[in-house]
Amino acid sequence: MILDVKQLSHSYGDKEALNNLNFSIKDNSIVSVLGPSGCGKTTLIRIIAGLEHIQSGEIFLDKLLVANKSLNLPPEQRPISYVFQDFALFPHMTVFENISFAAGSKANKKQLIEQVIHLAKVNNFLDKYSHSLSGGEQQRVALARSIAVQPKLLLLDEPFSDLDINLKREIIDDTLHLINSLESSAIVVTHNAEEAMFLSDTIIVMNKGIIVQIGTPHEIYFNPTNLYVASLFGETNIFQSKVIDHSCITPLGRIKVKNLPNNQNVDVVIRPEAIKLNLEKSPLLNPNSGIVVDSKFLGNSAIIHMTVNDEKNNKHHIHSKVMGNFLPPQASSVSVTLDEDHIFIFPR
């Protein structure tokens, strides 16, 4: 294991920021810490880096104890490097000097610098100072500098959040290749679930200072442990219902329920992609049909806004995500079938 975090708790005054975190990170892996603003992501990274004094618990890096109540190795004595949102490049040094400084006096320094410059794609602005670089260029230099340290663990705290969407995709992609090719491990902090899935082997989902779920992107997407995790991956349709005879009724029809007792109140989460639509010729024949309010074309997908009626004839506004070439006109009637892979039922 490159990192072991044991029983880590942290407070600012009487504000609890982290509550008993326990997790490990394997060698050569990329892990995302995913959660909303204020859930404790930065506090966790700062404690691992040694920038924040640990209050209780233990941190092991590469099996070496680096922090507990009576020990706090400074950042430079830990096998890590980090990139924060503000990049923090040395303003009085050129790009080349920033990278060279980070490489220190390593035996393979020249070769290392050349490799890092090539991988991070910073060769076109090596003589520039940070104030004359664009956000994307600064980002690349910050990554290059942190890699030149040859850390065993790279800590990236929301490094992509200030970049525009196209640049962000390109730099995330390059970062992934950079980390993989140098056989480092990395922790990437993000509040964007798609970014977390794209970048990492494992996602740690946090909320209000605790770890809510740890798993692969596939496990977290298809087996979320609660409503909060299920809602992280984009918008959802949520209905309140009750288990009766191993199923529950929603405005989109009856759904089978496993492993929950009769009379249990539940939240039913239905992802837009779970709702398959077909244009209907005779709407009155199908009780699970909806009326299209609007169809929004999004390229390779489309979002269909529609209303459906529940058993008591109350109207519900629903979003369905379908292929971009299916754009039913306003006021048309559509029948609904559901894909159970994208439906989650949680006790309430």
Residue 50 · residue 75 · CB < 8 Å? yes
Q: Which stretch binds ligand ATP (CB under 6 A): 30-38, 71-79, 121-129, 265-273?
A: 30-38
Closest CB to ligand ATP among 42 and 98?
Answer: 42
CB under 8 Å to 105, separation ≥6 — which residues?
none
Closest CB to ligand ATP among 16 and 170?
Answer: 16
Closest CB to ligand ATP among 49 and 182?
Answer: 49
DSSP string, 31-65: EEEE--TTSSHHHHHHHHHTSS---EEEEEETTEE
DSSP string, 107-175: TTHHHHHHHHHHHHT-GGGTT-BGGGS-HHHHHHHHHHHHHHT--SEEEEESTTTTS-HHHHHHHHHHH
Tokens for 185, please give them: 């491990």
String marking each residue 178-197 x if it binds ligand ATP according to CB under 6 A: -------------x------
Closest CB to ligand ATP among 38 and 287?
Answer: 38
Q: How far is the CB of 98 from ligand ATP (least distance, A)?
A: 25
Tokens for 318, please give them: 């629903």
Closest CB to ligand ATP among 53 and 177?
Answer: 53
If one asks whether residue 314 binds ligand ATP (CB under 6 A), the answer comes out as no
# residues contacting ligand ATP (CB under 6 A): 12
Give the C-alpha separation, 203 to 210, whole Å. Answer: 14
If one asks whether residue 17 binds ligand ATP (CB under 6 A), the answer comes out as yes
Residue 184 · residue 154 · CB < 8 Å? yes
Closest CB to ligand ATP among 231 and 264?
Answer: 231
Tokens for 5, please give them: 């975090």
Q: CA–CA distance from 275 to each of 28, 46, 190, 343 (Å)? A: 38, 42, 29, 10
If one asks whether residue 159 binds ligand ATP (CB under 6 A), the answer comes out as no
If one asks whether residue 41 binds ligand ATP (CB under 6 A), the answer comes out as yes
If one asks whether residue 40 binds ligand ATP (CB under 6 A), the answer comes out as yes
If one asks whether residue 86 binds ligand ATP (CB under 6 A), the answer comes out as no
Amino acid 216 reads: T
If one asks whether residue 200 binds ligand ATP (CB under 6 A), the answer comes out as no
Among 7, 20, 26, 38, binds ligand ATP (CB under 6 A): 38
Q: Name the site residues for ligand ATP (rule: CB under 6 A).
A: 12, 15, 17, 35, 37-43, 191
